[in-house]
Amino acid sequence: MNDAPVKTHCPYCALQCGMTVSTRGAEVVIAPRTDVPANAEGALCQKGWTAAELLKPGARLTTPLLYGRPSTWQASLAHVAGRLAGIRAEHGSDGVAVFGGGGLTNESAYHLGKLARVALGTSQIDYNGRFCMSSAAAAANRAFGLDRGLPFPLTDLAGADVVLLAGANVAETMPPLVRHLTGPRLIVVDPRQTPTAKLAALHLQPAPGTDLALALGLLHLVVAEGLVDQEYVAARTSGFEAVAASAGAWWPERAERVTGVPAARMRSAVQMLKSADKAYILTGRGAEQHAKGTDTVTAFINLALALGLPGTHGSGYGCLTGQGNGQGGREHGQKADQLPGYRRIDDPAAREHMAAVWGVDPAVLPGPGRSAQELLDALGTAGGPKALLLFGSNPVVSAPRSGALAERLRGLDLLVVADVVLSETAALAEVVLPAAQWAEQDGTMTNLEGRVLLRRRALAPPEGVRTDLEIIQGLAAGLGHAWSADPDEVFGELRRASAGGLADYAGITHARIAAETGVFWPCPAEDHPGTPRPFLDRFATPDGRARFVPVEHRPPAEEIDEDYPVHLTTGRVLAQYQSGAQTRRIAALTEAAPEPFVELHPDLAEQLGIGPGDLVRVLSRRGSAEAVARITAGIRRDTVFMPFHWEGANRLTNPALDPGSRMPEFKVCAVRVEKAA
């Protein structure tokens, strides 16, 4: 007997492509939906098509583990409650930390923040989305007064004449998005000739860590050649004069010396943008994951503002959010400095509002805590957390300087991990709690365009597996709190919590999302239509104007030298996702991308005596990693690339932080490359 298909969404990236899940006997069947704009033509990538594989028994966790041995839920939760009581008594509430994930539903992200601040009373909470688009969030907040990845529907891109992609390899990271880019001419900024760059009319190939100088060079040309949209700048922005003056020092030949991008190609890019009736500038992780990522994204926003793009019909600026719920995950309480609804945790009015929703005194709510990398660095140190509750993240693979992090996790008094599989991080935990997957629980996700979507439960979790909300409910009960684990009830509380905030979900319900195939926030009332384009009339700043912000280029936190003469940059491949904890357990994906590799230019390979398929050792000041060599002329001679889905790449990366967003510098560090024995 076959079950009727259940409408839901892909478990992976922030496109949140629509799919249905049904069963045919013992087989779980996935099919694409055509009513979801992200993949309206029925497209899914290889990861989406194979997403049902991990729902099968075998590769996943189905029972709690206590000290590595099977245990019961009752015993495991009682153990955690007792250990937390002792640690909090000895070290205070901040002796316990919480680390979340960008794949959690809005309901789970909201309740995880509540668990930290109400049940545990700790300020020490952040999430892996800090590693995703925090720099773009910081840049958008200071320019527009609001952080929403794409402040326009994704489908608008198809009507553009030109789209500039800075540091985004969408052909591998979000393949269905490419269908929205078949009409526009593409300008791609990337140090590698990625599959996306191969689709471009113009590829700008800067040295890693120099995107900011490139953006300044492009803005210089816009100003010097009289291409500024003066009417737009006068009517809708402030601060242009200071930015124009700072860009004056970045004539194209100077920018060429710093970036390696020929001045003629910069001029071509500017002419393409200015000659277009409709144009977009989009940034991705390649522009953000730097110790100056906020300023780099700001420079591209300044360029977009000078051209008159943001907040208009058919043109704009946006950031391509990466993780499935990277947008919603930070809106509703997982970030160290934010309360639900994008409220600042140090704002007295925001604290009063949330305290009323939670039924507590505002004085008991903790203040801002450490950001993700700072929290991970503090684990087990004097004055740092001694216990960590971790949901849906695998920092042993995904965090910079990951070798040092693994040692800190081993030294904790208590590590509790809730996950679907026994990841590299979960393998170090004292307690492991098996979590339900995407198709086994109801909840909402907010995709990269700010559209709130509904994931529907299509299957019952295996016996012994609990949903994230049920796990949080059990942990809260051990701390003396009786909370609901019903997604609809939790979302109702989230609606009240977000009401009046920048990310206002008050008018969104599960039923409405299902009826409308998603609702754009802000949506303050049930009769409100939602806000697909929030900047058409005014920006979210006090005066309604977008703000130009002067920025200056500076070198990477770690420059190449005689000992480490090559740049390393990292990124993704088509068949794997994030830390690979799930995708590396799916046979078809492992067959397509079975192992890590080092991509290097033929000239560098010849200099080092390395051939295709040779084992290569890459060393930085933080560690070493080995992988097979891939030789390609599509990468700069001074740069090597490694994917980060396996242990290794992030042993090398630099934890230097952006001063505003606290984003680590994943995208560039200095390494030495040699042929392994």
* pLDDT tens profile 560-594: 999 999 999 999 999 999 999 999 999 999 999 99
Within a domain: 416:
yes
Which amino acid type is present at position 636? R
Q: What is the pLDDT of residue 172?
A: 96
Of the ranges 12-21, 22-31, 191-200, 274-283, which one carries the lowest mean pLDDT score?
22-31
Q: Are 573 and 172 in contact (CB under 8 A)?
A: yes
Residues 308 and 345 in one domain: no
Other C-beta atoms closer than 10 Å to the C-beta of 264 total: 10
Sheet containing strand 6-9, edge to edge, reads 6-9, 18-24, 27-32
308 & 358 share domain: no
In a domain, 548, yes or no: no
The conformation of residue 315, written as its DSSP 8-state character, comes to: B
659 occurs within a structural domain: yes
- Same-domain pairing of 14 and 76: no
Q: Are residues 236 and 253 in the same domain?
A: yes
**pLDDT range class, residue 287, cuts 50, 70, 90:** very high
pLDDT in tens, 436-494: 999 999 999 999 999 999 999 999 999 999 999 999 999 999 999 999 999 999 999 99
CB within 8 A of 385, min separation 6: which ones?
Answer: 91, 94, 95, 96, 97, 122, 124, 375, 378, 379, 412
Q: Are residues 386 and 362 in the same domain?
A: yes
- The verdict on 493 and 401 lying in the same domain is yes
Say if residue 308 is in the same domain as residue 246.
Answer: yes
Query: What CATH number should be reported for the domain holding residue 592?
Result: 2.40.40.20
Residues 360 and 504 both lie in one domain: yes
For residue 133, what pLDDT is reported? 85
CA distance 251 to 221: 7
Phi, psi angle pair for 133, to nearest 5°: -140, 35
Does some domain include residue 355?
yes
CA gap 547, 215 in Å, rounded: 17
Do residue 229 and residue 363 come from a single domain?
A: no
Total length of the chain = 677
pLDDT mean across residues, the chain? 96
The reply to whether 537 falls in a domain is no
Same domain, residue pair 345 and 484: yes
Which residues are bridge partners to 238 per DSSP? 547
Domain stop point among 520, 535, 558: 520
Tell me the per-residue pLDDT of 47-102, one tens digit each, with 9 for 90 and over.
999 999 999 888 899 999 999 999 999 999 999 999 999 999 999 999 999 999 99
| HSE, side-chain direction, 13 A CA sphere, residue 579 | 27
CA–CA separation, 650 and 576 (whole Å): 16
pLDDT at 3: 77
Residues 292 and 395 in one domain: no
Query: Cβ contacts of residue 299 below 8 Å, gap of 6+?
Result: 211, 212, 215, 216, 219, 551
Question: How many structural domains does the chain have?
Answer: 4
Which domain CATH number covers 352?
A: 3.40.50.740
Among the candidates 489, 520, 551, a domain finishes at 520
Region 393-403: what's the mean pLDDT?
A: 96
Q: In this model, does residue 384 exceed pLDDT 90? A: yes
- Strand 443-446 relative to strand 451-455, pairing: antiparallel
Average pLDDT over residues 642-667: 97
Model confidence at 26, pLDDT cuts 50, 70, 90, reads confident
Of the three residues 268, 292, 320, the one that is the final residue of a domain is 320
Q: 333 pLDDT band (50/70/90 cuts)? A: confident
Q: Virtual CA dihedral for 460, 462, 467, 471, nearest 10 degrees?
A: 150
- CATH number of the domain at 47, please: 2.20.25
Task: Give pLDDT, residue 1.
Answer: 39
Q: Is residue 26 part of a domain?
A: yes
Strands across the sheet with 125-127, in order? 69-70, 65-66, 431-434, 414-419, 387-391, 96-100, 125-127
In a domain, 390, yes or no: yes
Q: Residue 620: give the domain boundaries.
A: 566-675
The pLDDT tens digits for 502-541 are: 999 999 999 999 999 999 999 999 999 999 999 999 999 9
User: Does residue 216 lie within any of the structural domains?
Assistant: yes
In the block, residue with structure tokens 């539903």: 105
Specify whether 315 is located in the same domain as 202. yes
Q: CA-to-CA distance for 81 and 76, rounded, in angstroms?
A: 9
Place of tokens 């719920």: 325
105: nearest Cα among 459, 456, 529: 456
> How buried is 612 (Cβ within 10 angstroms: 0-12 exposed, 13-18 middle, 19+ buried)?
exposed
- State residue 677's pLDDT score: 82
